């Protein structure tokens, strides 16, 4: 069976963004007029963004709300995604090729829509994607809402769509909802490699190797 559309994850799949989270806390603190303490990124690693913002406010005594700090984080991330986050291997060739073949493409990401489109625009790829969906609006990928919304917008059934992901739990969610799945290795999730490979319909070390059967809607292999 051929698939007729592709949903791409962003971080760790299309772009190599995991390293920026080592740098963002220090950049944020300097931007807000303070000097980062050593090991700040490690101290924040296990916290969600709001809890991290609240910890920074307490640590530095900022006269700011958590929402104000998070707004500054969003601005910093959008700037970073738009200027200095590299593509993963093979992405710069694969996305235009699929687009030229008439295959609908979209992005489902835990990052914001602005971050995703900023990164794709930086590499001249934004016009290849029909839309971007963010977990900030549709909830996390531990539930299928974001993938089902993508299927609705694409006008296809889940079994006609491939999801390309580096995250085991996201692949598991999509698999249970009936989507075809493509696993891609990322260093941040290397310990999940064996289980990801076993669960996915297709599995690649990089998207340079992508050869899954995808054709434009209304056509067959």
**Predicted model pTM:** 0.88
Q: Are strands 180-184 and 105-109 parallel, antiparallel or unpaired?
A: unpaired
Q: What pLDDT is stored for residue 47 in this prediction? A: 60
Please list the alpha-helical segments (H only) found in the chain.
20-31, 40-44, 49-60, 66-83, 91-100, 113-122, 135-138, 145-154, 168-176, 193-199
End-to-end CA distance of the chain: 8
Using DSSP's 3-state secondary structure scheme, residue 11 falls into strand
Q: What pLDDT is stored for residue 125 in this prediction? A: 98
Residues of the chain with pLDDT under 70: 1, 43-48, 188-189, 220-221
Q: What pLDDT is stored for residue 51 in this prediction? A: 84
Q: 105 - beta bridge partners?
A: 6
Rg of the Cα atoms in the chain: 18
């Amino acid at each position: 069976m051929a698939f007729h559309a592709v949903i791409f994850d962003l971080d760790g799949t299309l772009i190599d963004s995991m390293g920026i989270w080592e740098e963002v806390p220090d950049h944020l603190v300097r931007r807000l007029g303070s000097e980062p303490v050593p090991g700040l990124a490690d101290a924040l690693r296990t916290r969600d963004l709001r809890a991290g913002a609240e910890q920074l406010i307490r640590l530095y005594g900022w006269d700011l709300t958590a929402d104000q700090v998070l707004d500054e984080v969003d601005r910093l991330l959008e700037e970073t995604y738009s200027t200095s986050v590299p593509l993963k291997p093979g992405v710069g060739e694969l996305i235009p090729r699929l687009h030229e073949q008439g295959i609908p493409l979209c992005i489902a990401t835990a990052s914001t829509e602005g971050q995703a489109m900023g990164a794709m625009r930086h590499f001249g790829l934004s016009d290849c994607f029909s839309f971007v969906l963010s977990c900030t609006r549709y909830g996390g990928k531990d539930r299928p809402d974001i993938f089902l919304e993508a299927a609705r917008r694409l006008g296809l059934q889940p079994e006609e769509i491939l999801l390309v992901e580096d995250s085991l739990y996201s692949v598991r969610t999509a698999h249970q909802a009936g989507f075809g799945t493509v696993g891609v290795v990322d260093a941040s999730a290397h310990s999940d490699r064996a289980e990801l490979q076993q669960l996915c319909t297709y599995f690649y070390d990089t998207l340079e190797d992508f050869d899954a059967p995808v054709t434009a809607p209304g056509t067959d292999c």
